[in-house]
């Protein structure tokens, strides 16, 4: 498995502000992903973070709201922009391993928007 | 659209009991089925299954996949209070723009009482 770290671990933010979440992996990986888990719900894929090109967003998620950077093969950021209370969730990054058959998750960021 | 359904949604047992968690799926391009344990924020990887009929085991946990009937089960024998968690089943997509996308089930909340 990969060693994945995320910062911050948690945050409480005011509506209308933005928060950038960082994901760092201990070795180079081709595939990195960002997921959201709303309270009481399962995980939903936001986007695939592509190195050297724009992220690929899932239906219902847009770049203006969730801009993603992937400057190299070990690091990515997700920004939650112009936050509202509905953005209160756990945000998780994951990486693909095992020839792409497995995914491992970072520790997550618990975001509360007031 | 890919779909994963888990049952039961919640389960309460006593220590020492054996439990079976179910996962059925529909996916356009199946790559693998993954089981995770989620206690706080981050899902912890348990098993990856790609082939039918081959049981994966790790201590008291085991899992098997049936690709013909499109389901998987996760067994936990001699349950302990530390097994209390949400168990997530997810299917990894192999095709096209959904390559690497994980679709999650709703999860099964397992509570083990002393």
Chain B residues whose beta carbon lies within 8 Å of the beta carbon of residue A43 = 43, 88, 90, 102, 104
Question: Model confidence over A61-111: pLDDT tens digits?
Answer: 999 999 999 999 999 999 999 999 999 999 999 998 777 778 899 999 999
Mutate: best of B5, B38, B100, partner A, most A CBs <10 A: B100
DSSP structure string for chain A? ---EEEE-SEEEE-TT--EEEEEEESS--S-EEEEEE-TT--EEEEEEE-TTSPPEEPTT--TTTS-EEEEETTEEEEEE-S--GGG-EEEEEEEEEGGGTEEEE---EEEEE-
pLDDT of residue B99: 65
A50 in B contact zone (CB under 8 Å)? no
Q: How many CB pairs under 8 A join A and B?
A: 64
Query: A101 and chain B: CB distance < 8 Å anywhere?
Result: yes
B90 interfacial to chain A (CB closer than 8 Å): yes
What pLDDT is stored for residue B28 in this prediction?
83
Q: What integer pLDDT is reported at residue B87 of this predicted model?
A: 98
Q: What is the pLDDT of residues B20-78, one digit of tens each?
A: 999 999 988 888 999 999 998 899 999 999 988 899 999 999 999 999 999 999 999 99
| A1 or A44, which is more confident | A44
């Amino acid at each position: 498995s990969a060693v994945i770290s995320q910062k911050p671990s948690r945050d409480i933010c005011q509506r209308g502000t933005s928060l950038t979440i960082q994901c760092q992996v201990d070795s180079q990986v081709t595939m990195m992903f960002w997921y959201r888990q709303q309270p009481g719900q399962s995980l939903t894929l936001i986007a695939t973070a592509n190195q050297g090109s724009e992220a690929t967003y899932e239906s219902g998620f847009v770049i203006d709201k969730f801009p993603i950077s992937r400057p190299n093969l070990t690091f990515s950021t997700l920004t939650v922009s112009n936050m509202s209370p509905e953005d209160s969730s756990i945000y998780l990054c994951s990486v693909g391993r095992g020839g792409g058959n497995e995914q491992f998750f970072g520790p997550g960021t618990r975001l509360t928007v007031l | 659209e890919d779909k994963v359904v888990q049952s039961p949604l919640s389960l309460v047992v006593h220590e020492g009991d054996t439990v079976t968690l179910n996962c059925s799926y529909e996916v356009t391009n199946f790559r693998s089925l993954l089981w995770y344990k989620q206690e706080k924020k981050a899902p912890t990887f348990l098993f990856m299954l790609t082939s039918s009929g081959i049981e994966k085991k790790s201590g008291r946990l085991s899992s098997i996949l049936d690709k013909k009937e499109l389901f998987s089960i996760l067994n936990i024998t001699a349950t302990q209070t530390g097994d209390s968690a949400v168990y997530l089943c997810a299917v990894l997509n192999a095709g096209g723009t959904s390559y690497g996308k994980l679709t999650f089930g709703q999860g099964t909340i397992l509570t083990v009482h002393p």
